[in-house]
Structures are given as C-alpha cells and as structure tokens.
Amino acid sequence: MSVWRRSRTDAKLAAIEAVYRERLRPFVRLATAITGDEQTALDAVHDGFVRAVRYRSRLRDRESAPGWVCRIVLNEAKKRSTIEGRYVPTPDELVDETVSANGHSEPGAVAAALAALPERQRLALFLRYYADLDYAGIAEALGIARGTVSATLHAARANLQTKLEEVNA
C-alpha cells in the first residue's frame, strides 16, 4: 500500500515527510551551495520544510512534491544569501589556484566559472547535481516548462566547460 492510500487523513503531509526522509541531504547541499554556509543551509532547509507543511494544501499531488518542496527550500536559501548570488567566490576562495598538478580545476576556479553562468543555468545545475532532482522536479522548482530543462542544463554544462577552459588556459 502506498503512502497516499495509507495516510488518507493527510496524504500531503505524508508526501512532504517522504521528501524529507529521501532528500534532506541533497537539499542541504543545494542550500549550502547557495548560502555558502552549511549551518545557514540547515536553517534554510528546516524553515523550508516548515513552510511546506504549513502550506501543504497548495501541493498538487505526490509526484510533484520533491520539486515543490525544493522550490520552497530554494527560496529560503536565497533569502539567506547575504550576497546576491553567493556562489560568487570570495577572494580567499580564488587564491590563485586554478589548475592542479593533475589537470583538474580547483574549487576556486570552478566556483568562478559557476558564478559567471546565468542564474537559471547555475540553479539548474545545482538542482540536478546537488538536489538530485529529475527534469520534472527541476521544472517544478524553477517554475519553468519541463521541455526547457534539458536545453537549460545543456547550455549550463557547455558554458561551464567553456569558462573552465578559459580559467585553465
């Protein structure tokens, strides 16, 4: 028996709880990428879930729950980001490390390349890699059409690659 059928009295609450159990860790990573600080990210995720529980009547269905909750968490994280687009690396993060001996870009260089991406592309990457959302979830979280997600991610990857090559050149 599914969660929905079992918890007739509050199926939406059960769906949000399922998202919490399955996706807390990815969501914390997402929020950390945006706020730049894990403790701040934990607060953002907690408050995001609290809001999701309070406003659960707006949740359409179980399938859309991961993206819907993620959208709320994303907004909470962005509210806590003291600098617009916190992923802009600080000078400390950019200490002239660009390419390591093994040819891999170092964190500062990657952060710089990410910071140079358009926000939607950057968030799409974060939602895919950190929040582990599928295309439907990314579309829900960003409030864009599902068909746009693939193109956005493709452009983000290509742009990131180009910018990394520029940094590493």
Partner 1 sequence: MTDIAQALDRIVPPYDGVGDWERVLRDAGLERRPRRRPLRLGGAVALVAAVIGVVALWPSGAGPSVIDRALAATGEGPVLHLVYESDLPHTLVDLETGERTELRAEHEVWFDPGAGLRETERFDGIVQFDVSLSGDGVSEHASSLYTSLGAGYREALESGQAEVLGEDVVEGTPVYWIKIGPNNHDVAVSRETFEPVFIRVTQNGTTGLTRIVAYHTMPAGSAQLEVTSPETLPSELGSYGADLELTDAASLLGRPPVWAGPDLHGFALDSVRELRLPASGGAITGLSLAYGSTGGGAHVEISQAAELVDSLTMIAGVRGYEPPEGTLLLSGTMALLRSNGLVVTIHAPDGEMAIEVARSLRPFRG
- Only one residue has tokens 């964190």, namely 107
Q: How far is the CB of 108 from partner 1 (least distance, A)?
A: 9
Rounded distance between C-alpha atoms, residue 165 and residue 163, angstroms: 5
Q: Which is nearer to partner 1, 7 or 64 (CB)?
A: 7
Q: How far is the CB of 164 from partner 1 (least distance, A)?
A: 5
CA atoms within 13 A on the CB side of 101: 0
SS3 track for 96-140? CCCECCCCCECHHHHHHHHHCCCHHHHHHHHHHHCCCCCHHHHHH
Q: How far is the CB of 27 from partner 1 (least distance, A)?
A: 9
Q: Which is nearer to partner 1, 48 or 67 (CB)?
A: 48
Phi/psi of residue 129, nearest 5 degrees: -90, -40
Q: How far is the CB of 63 from partner 1 (least distance, A)?
A: 14
Q: Which is nearer to partner 1, 110 or 149 (CB)?
A: 110
- Only one residue has tokens 């170092």, namely 106
Q: Which is nearer to partner 1, 25 or 146 (CB)?
A: 25
> Contact positions toward partner 1, by CB under 8 A?
1-3, 6-7, 9, 13-14, 17-18, 20-21, 24-25, 28-29, 32-33, 38, 42, 45-46, 49-50, 53-54, 104-107, 110-111, 114, 125-126, 129-130, 157, 160-161, 164
- Please work out, in degrees rounded to the nearest 5, the angle formed at the alpha carbon of residue 69 by the alpha carbons of 131 and 158: 35
Q: Which is nearer to partner 1, 74 or 110 (CB)?
A: 110
Rounded distance between C-alpha atoms, residue 9 and residue 118, angstroms: 43
